[in-house]
A = this chain, B = another copy of it.
Amino acid sequence: MKTLTLPSVSEMNLTAVCAALGDPIRMKIVQCLARSGEKNCSGFEVEHISKSTLSHHIKILRESGLIQPRFQGKEHFYSLRKEELDRRFPGLTEMLLNEPASAE
């Protein structure tokens, strides 16, 4: 059974969202999704991390409410929860788009 817990708009918490965005890998994933819509794990432009580590970061992003999954066959497609974020944290998605990808 797939029990997917995604916080509602009112359940989203700014501190948790900031903590999620406070890691360079997660920031990069979120910026990637902000710029290009839906992607599966292999589409995130992150290198040199194992798939279990990537999965861990995705979980934190999902639990904070920043991203949402869509399951299709064996692939998990993720996307920014733009509508929800724009309601809860106006200006945030623009911030993500305006910020240059940090050198890593």
Q: In the assembled complex, which residues on chain B have CB atoms less than 8 Å from the CB atom of A22?
A: 15-16, 18-22
Total residues of chain A contacting the partner, CB 8 A: 21
- Cβ of B102 and Cβ of A91 under 8 Å apart? no
Closest to A12 in B: B99
Task: Assess A102 versus B24: contact at CB under 8 Å? Given A91-B95, A95-B89.
Answer: no
In angstroms, Cα B102 to Cα A16, docked, is 11
How many monomers of this chain does the complex have? 2
- Cβ of A95 and Cβ of B21 under 8 Å apart? no
Q: In the assembled complex, which residues on chain B have CB atoms less than 8 Å from the CB atom of A23?
A: 15, 19
- CB-defined A-B contacts under 8 Å, sample of 24: A13-B102, A14-B21, A14-B96, A14-B99, A15-B21, A15-B23, A15-B24, A15-B27, A15-B102, A18-B20, A18-B22, A18-B27, A19-B22, A19-B23, A20-B22, A21-B22, A22-B22, A89-B95, A90-B91, A90-B94, A90-B95, A91-B94, A91-B95, A92-B95
